[in-house]
Structure 1
Amino acid sequence: MGKYPPSSSVYVHESSYVDEPSEIGPGTRVWHFTHILPHVSIGKNCVLGQNVVIGPYVSVGDNCKIQNNVSLYEGVELEQGVFCGPSCVFTNVNNPRAEIVRKNEFRRTLVRKGATIGANATIVCGHTLGEYSFVAAGAVVTQDVPPFALMAGVPAKQIGWMSAAGGKLGENLICPVDGTQYELSADGCLSKAN
């Protein structure tokens, strides 16, 4: 089993495997039939659902939720507070062939703080999902995603903005969940108003 801090309250279901070396932060729960491969770092207070595979060489930040049937392959990095919906997919090579080994062509995929990826969405490797971006269920991301962008469709296109609290922003750019005001810069980037 991997390294856990003493008295860390890490929970790993007996049907799951954690390969050495790996690290799991305190308060993290690993549910049924999950496999954590070597050289994986998982932060504190994460929840890994059933039938999740992580690694090797993957980093998961604090407070992430990875729902059932998700695989995070080498090259994927989740910052803190990322939500991966059930059966979402991460690729690691752009042009796979069963008969050609392309492990030296793995491309990095970075999912920034607070981003949400909906159920059955696909994230094509080599892209960055910005902070608090929101990828709708079933979308296929084929490009970088700006912070706070709401993406939907195949291929995914930006259809609006989402707040950090998960509310869809209207024209006034005020979060309907917590009332936070957002603003668009001259270059089209969204941020919280000062």
Structure 2
Amino acid sequence: MENMTLLLFTILIFIYFHRILIMLCLSPITAWATKNHDTLGIKRKSISKKLADKYCWWFERLFLYWCSNIHSHCIRNFFYKNVHRINLDKNVVIYWGAEIRNPAGLHIGKGTIIGDKAILDARAKIEIGENVNLSSNVSIWTLQHDYRDPDFKCNPNHYGPVKIGNRAWIGPNSIILRNVTIGEGAVIAAGSVVTHDVPPFELWGGIPARSLGKRPQNMRYEFKGIHCHFL
């Protein structure tokens, strides 16, 4: 009976931790892949360029997906910061299920909270300030295909960085598109699609988002990194 219990416990441990072990063993490959990113793709210089292009990018995407599904904030942040090279300040909380593209192009400021199932497309860079609150299912896209292009390419005027100022609040299911700056303390209402710059301390909402009101400018709250465990 004791042997059976030990066997079941071992199997459960393996099922839960095998991805973490694989990521630790292959983390040098992932770190190399991340280091050799440019803002719009993967840039290679070595003789094994073809092999690297084919597999390192795939490993990075796979491990980022696995990482987002680990039920531990500490372990997730360890991989995000030390392996995938995301620029994370202290007390940052990234909840479960985040999809991150080009982690090297992502900066998240102190005390910021990223809600569950966020999509952070940092291929043209995303800069998120301090004490920002991204609610659930927020999507930030820095690249767009040109529907008029015969090859469906992403042309230069269809990509650009996204910047979000300190203490901004992005409501659930909102979408922020390329080349947008959201000012300090601004609020984006739930379900909005932001296509233009948002001035500081304004409330915007709708599709496309437009100004709906103002927010007081005496905001002083600071998030301390407190989070729901196992999420």
* TM-score category of the 2 structures, normalised to the smaller one: 0.5 to 0.7
Task: Give the match for residue 106 of structure 2.
Answer: 58
Alpha-carbon distance, 1:163 to partner: 2.5
Change (3 A) 1:165 1:51: farther
Q: Distance in 2 between matches of 1:164 and 1:116?
A: 13
Unaligned regions of 5+ residues in structure 1, if any?
1-12, 23-29, 167-194
Task: Give the match for residue 119 of structure 2.
Answer: 71
Alpha-carbon distance, 1:165 to partner: 6.4
Q: Name which of 80, 84, 90 aligns with 2:130.
A: 80
Change (3 A) 1:110 1:150: same
Select the structure of larger CA radius of gyration. Answer: 2
Higher relative contact order (CA 8 A, sep 6+): 2
Residue 87 of structure 2 contacts residue 108 of structure 2 at CA under 8 Å; is this kept in 1? yes
Change (3 A) 1:165 1:31: farther
Higher strand share: 1
Residue 145 of structure 2 contacts residue 152 of structure 2 at CA under 8 Å; is this kept in 1? no
Map 1:39-118; keep pairs closer than 5 Å. 39-54=85-100, 55-56=102-103, 57-74=105-122, 75-95=125-145, 100=152, 102=154, 106-118=159-171
Q: Distance in 1 between matches of 2:214 and 2:31?
A: 41
One-letter code aligned to 2:143: V
Q: Distance in 2 between matches of 1:41 and 1:58?
A: 6
Alpha-carbon distance, 1:20 to partner: 2.7
Q: Distance in 1 between matches of 2:169 and 2:208?
A: 17
TM-score by structure 1 length? 0.64
Q: Name which of 10, 20, 35 aligns with 2:31.
A: 20
Change (3 A) 1:155 1:110: same
**Which shows bigger deviation, 70-79 or 35-44?**
35-44
| Percent identity for Structure 1 against Structure 2 | 23
SS state at 2:127 partner? strand
Alpha-carbon distance, 1:32 to partner: 3.6
Residue 89 of structure 2 contacts residue 111 of structure 2 at CA under 8 Å; is this kept in 1? yes
Alpha-carbon distance, 1:101 to partner: 5.0
Higher helix share: 2
Deviations 1:72-128 (A, max 9, x none): 12221101111111001111123356x645386631000011111000001011010
Task: Give the match for residue 135 of structure 1.
Answer: 188
Alpha-carbon distance, 1:143 to partner: 0.5
SS state at 2:184 partner? coil
Residue 68 of structure 2 contacts residue 99 of structure 2 at CA under 8 Å; is this kept in 1? no
2:205 equivalent to 1:159: no
Q: Distance in 1 between matches of 2:112 and 2:153?
A: 31
One-letter code aligned to 1:141: V
**Which shows bigger deviation, 33-42 or 84-93?**
33-42
Unaligned regions of 5+ residues in structure 2, if any?
1-15, 35-66, 71-75, 220-231
